[in-house]
Amino acid sequence: MSTTRRGALTDLEAVTALETSHDTIRWLGETGLEWHRRSFADPDQEHLLVEQDGKPVGFAVLSGLLRRDRVVEIRRVVVGDDMRGHGYGRVLINAAVERAYNQYGASKVWLDVKTTNVRARSLYESESFVATRTVPGGAIEPDGAGGDLVVMVHQAEEPGAPDAGTRDETAGADAPAGDASAGDASAGDASAGDASVRRP
């Protein structure tokens, strides 16, 4: 049986190990211990882990938790290579969305994903995320070429909620561009690439 919980600094090595394979890393921006160490230390971000029999098999990173407009980003979603195809990506997306709304009072939840990450996009669409725009060249591929990102938004049923499109484009610009890119879907990150653009 799988369970989800909030991550802690003691999970640093476990979450870093989950994103080391080529099929995962190709969807991500910056990776490694330092990226996660900064994320754990940032009060504006939070890791969520999914475990099977007490062992971490995937994680998600929420960002924008302190934003006044309450627009929360799912910055990264990763499921270990050997655990894909068992629904853990969907578990993580659902847990992240629920936590954003219920714990942080989000008005909207958003993520970005490489246009080429079809499996991830299908997963997000099946969980009520809607593509709102494409960011040409928003992700930097491993070979240095630019790749496009799709911004996808999940909105709570709440009249008068602020528009995610009004977000300051420079907010969180140090983060990789689309780390929500994959989940159980294809590899692993909710976003994708090393972004130089962004965010709704």
| Grouped pLDDT means (10 residues each) for the chain, 200 residues | 89 86 70 86 94 90 95 91 84 95 95 90 93 88 78 74 37 34 38 38
Query: In the prediction, which pLDDT does 155 show?
Result: 74
Sheet containing 71-79: order of strands = 2-6, 45-52, 55-63, 71-79, 108-114, 146-155, 130-140
- Per-residue confidence (pLDDT) for residue 174, from 0 to 100: 27
Give the pLDDT score at 95. 96
- pLDDT value of position 122: 92
pTM, entire model:
0.76
pLDDT at 134: 92
Please state which of the four CATH numbers 1.10.357.10, 3.40.630.30, 3.40.30.10, 3.50.50.60 is assigned to the domain occupying 2-191: 3.40.630.30
Beta carbons within 8 Å of 98's beta carbon, 6+ residues apart? none
Query: Given this model, what pLDDT does residue 138 score?
Result: 82
| pLDDT given for residue 31 in this prediction | 72
pLDDT at position 87, please? 86
